[in-house]
Chains A and B, each alone.
Chain A
Amino acid sequence: METLEATELEKMPVSPVTMSHAKGDSAVILDADGGLGSWSPSIGYLKIADLDSGGTDLSVNPSGTVAAVAGSDGFVLYDLVNEELITEHRGQWSSSVAWNKDGSIVAVAFGKKVKLYTIDGTCIRTAGDFASTVMDLSWLPDQENIAVASFGGVSIMSTVNDVEPMQKEFVGSLLCLAVSPAADWIVSGNQDCSLQVFKIKDSTRLEMQGFPRKVTDAQFDSSGLWLANNGADEVTVWDFKGKGPKGRAPRILPKHVYGGTALAWHPTKAGVIATGDGAGLVRIWDVAKGVPEKPMPPMKRIKSYSSSEVRFILWDSTGNNLVVCHADGVIYQESIV
């Protein structure tokens, strides 16, 4: 195990909420006040705009030019190149935003509905009247369907046809969603401290009840063979090879103080994941080297520059660098080569 040196250290004035890739090696960061900032290794942190929307979620289009921002006071599209507002829709809670793969449409959770906007801010479709506020949404790989999480389960709604959404029922409040890259599984983390795993093609549902905390983050790696989730003092990684994870003991990534607060799979290396915890520790793991049920050691440990909760971890596109963002606003990049 080796310890790495940080190459950049910066502190944001306001606590970050989430972070997304932008153009080149830069990242866009949304703060708790709805402020939008950029960060790059060469320049550091720069405030771009004060959107005053109470930030809840951020998604930047694939070309890195337009940020979609969700907030407690609505939804904003912002041009990152010209630094100007494209459109804003205020007055309703918006919890989640997601661009499709080609960046032509952004899906926005608006209260109990989902709205689709083009890149110029035109609303082209409003769909759904879900049982509760939509908590998360995610495009399926086919780019025609969206998985929507709300109380009572996951709905898979078409963005092109007026057909009834496919329902994956679960009586409870869903907090996060993950769709496998091959679109064969949908996973939800839930307020009842459970993980629910739905097979898309049939009615199979798997569950793990009894996590000590709410499951607020669940993510598939790029291969779709591994799923990681928080909810305990260890991060749990499930093996989705072959027929799926039913009955298989998971890999255990131990010793996350106050739980795994940030998870980020490597963009290209299957089974390699960076995790952060509530005490500011960041570690990198190669889960394929672990043994089911046995707590495994990390592959690398990142030198920590803050003892506050790790809020977000972002790999760059090469997978050679990690940007780490803490709840107290400390942000830095690590080389992982």
Chain B
Amino acid sequence: MIAVNLLTKNPVLTLNGINVFRDQFCAVKNVNLDFEAGELVALSGRNGAGKSSLLLAIAGLTNFTGTLKFKESECHHGHHQPGIGYVPQRANLRWDLPMRAIDVVLTGTAGDHHLAGYKNKSKRVKLAWEALELVEGSHLGDRLLSTLSGGQAQRILIARSLVSKPEVLLLDEPLSGLDAPSSQRILDLLKQRANEGTLIIAAMHELDIVQGHFSRAVLLSGEVIADGAPTQVIPTLYVNPTLSEVTV
């Protein structure tokens, strides 16, 4: 494994000996990583490398073994960890449901028991609109999902994850299918959140963007094969190019 000058002092997230399982299959094994607040981290690697699986494990949404700590709290499969937000792949969601954008953002408050109950409804709505404001999406709140562009939909998903004011934000391919201006807008938003202290971890295919905008890259191929500054780690992928057969 390539590791480049990474000394993590006060990790907000610690992964020790993590093996992630999808059904019975071990998608990624023996992951040992520390992440600090304010880092903008890209998980890269080809399809099936384990990027999405690792994000799901950190979010508590798939089975794993090993020790995963958010600050001092140990995380477990099936238990939502307050403070960790997760943005799934946009393409995996149903966008034809008859819901408004603000309704989607509101579902981001569902896991917070402090906001549960009828008497907190106005507070939840206020937080949802504030989250929309953070992604410059206030004007989209009353729009039906089916009328949103790809970039607008992505901002709605990010707003949903920001409602709970997470210290760790996980995103699965946030730029997939977006045009250049929409991508830039999402990147600016992520950088702004990182500058304000949020740990951002995103599964990313766009290696040029990783090199240009991210502070750290972790390369996966069933396990961690490299970890470090993107400008040093990413070029190791482009060595002896060959076309290999993909087995589905």
Q: Which residues of A contact B (CB under 8 A)?
A: 131-132, 151-152, 169, 171-173, 191-195, 197, 203-214, 232, 236, 238, 245-250, 293
Contact B176 A173 (CB under 8 A): yes
A232 B238 Cβ-Cβ under 8 A: yes
Given contacts A171-B47, A172-B176, A207-B246, contact A250 B208 (CB under 8 A): no
Given A171-B47, A172-B176, A209-B46, A193 and B242 touching (CB < 8 A)? Answer: no
Instruction: Give A201 to B244 CA distance when docked, in angstroms.
Output: 18
Determine chain B's interface SS by DSSP, over half rule: loop
Q: Tell me, yes or no, whether B67 is within 8 Å of chain A by CB.
A: no
Chain B: how many interface residues by the 8 Å CB criterion? 24
Q: Assess A191 versus B243: contact at CB under 8 Å? Given A171-B47, A211-B238, A212-B238.
A: no
Given A173-B176, A191-B206: A208 and B235 interface contact (C-beta under 8 Å): no
- Contact check, B177 vs A193: say whether CB atoms are below 8 A apart: no
Are B245 and A132 in contact, with the CB atoms below 8 A?
Answer: no
Q: Which residues of A contact B138 (CB under 8 A)?
A: none
Query: B241 at interface (Cβ–Cβ under 8 A)?
Result: yes
Task: Please give, as numbers and ranges, the residues of chain A lying within 8 Å of B235 by CB-CB distance.
Answer: 212
Given contacts A193-B205, A193-B207, A205-B245, list 15 more A-B pairs with CB under 8 A: A132-B150, A169-B248, A191-B177, A192-B207, A193-B206, A207-B244, A208-B244, A210-B238, A211-B207, A212-B235, A212-B238, A214-B206, A247-B244, A249-B242, A250-B241
Contact between chains at A197 and B238 (CB < 8 Å):
no
Please count the residue pairs between chain A and chain B whose beta carbons lie under 8 angstroms apart in the complex: 87
Cβ of A212: which chain B residues have Cβ within 8 Å of it? 207-208, 211, 234-235, 238
Residues of B within 8 A of A204 (CB): 245
Interchain CB contact under 8 A, B243 and A197:
yes
Chain A residues whose C-beta falls within 8 Å of the C-beta of B205 in the assembled complex: 172, 191-194
Q: Is the CB–CB distance between B245 and A206 below 8 Å?
A: yes
A191 near B240 with CB under 8 A, answer no
Assess whether B242 is in contact with A208, with CB atoms less than 8 Å apart: yes
Q: What CA separation (Å) do A212 and B91 show in the bound complex?
A: 24
B237 within 8 A of A: yes
For A209, give its contact among B175, B237, B245, B248 (CB under 8 Å).
B237
Residue on A nearest B204 in the bound complex, by CB: A192
Contact A207 B177 (CB under 8 A): no
Q: Please, how many angstroms separate the alpha-carbon atoms of A132 and B237 in the complex?
A: 29
> Which 4 A-B pairs give the minimum distances between C-beta atoms?
A192-B205, A210-B237, A206-B243, A209-B46
